[in-house]
Amino acid sequence: MKKQMIFFDIDGTLLNHDKKLPESTKWAVNRLKELGHEIAIATGRAPFMFKDLREELGIHTYVSFNGSYVVYNGTPVYKNPLDKEELESLTQFSVNKKNPIVYENHEKMYSNTESHPYIDAAIGSLKIEETPTFDPSFYQEQEIYQCLHFCVEEEIETYRENFTKFDFVRWHECSVDVLPVGGSKARGIEALINHLNISMDQVYAFGDGLNDLEMLSFVKNSVAMGNAEEEVKKVAKYVTKHVDEDGILRGLELLGLLEVEAV
């Protein structure tokens, strides 16, 4: 089979809701690599949040920060940081509203609030070792590729109306990702495939969350997990089984990329 490039979301796709990697998923990814396919991750997470997973699976290509920081074989090939002036305005507005922010670059994350239950709840749900360090001026000195903004659903429309250079995408009941307007996993994938000069016919993608909508709409060979949001299932070409029911393996079978064997 011709070499293909397959993108996998992390949370709810590669990892189950306990943040565990199913054995069938690990087998499937390794088998794809043995067959010569290119494997990549497409995630809203910062690179430092999935280093262990990359090492476990031997994956060195990824679209991170929902498309704002793209790496091919360990080398950055595309960057789309947040507008600094708009970020300054967002920060001041959020401080007045008492909504905390965590600023992220490709190496670190820092919070403008020493502690907050929303930060604890949302970042705690990722089950990662990293926690934000308190440094309210971090964003002034660094390129920031994404922010985690902490607010509940009824508060977010005010931010969307006032900060039109940013998109706000909910990933937790207490938090949204703040992205450059028009930023998405799809945009990051497009930048990467243009860099590699490969055809869209060779590109596949798996996802489950609202931040996968653009990716699964853009990539015509797309698969929604069985545990995906209903809105996500509607835009994907295929729907596979739940992440805990060999969803990745079965999805690759649907695509004709793998024949399911005993795992």
Active-site choice (9, 208, 212, 246): 9
Query: Tokens at residue 226, please?
Result: 């069985």
CA dist., res. 255 & res. 257, Å (int): 5
* Residue 201 is among the residues annotated as catalytic for this protein: no
- Active-site positions read 9
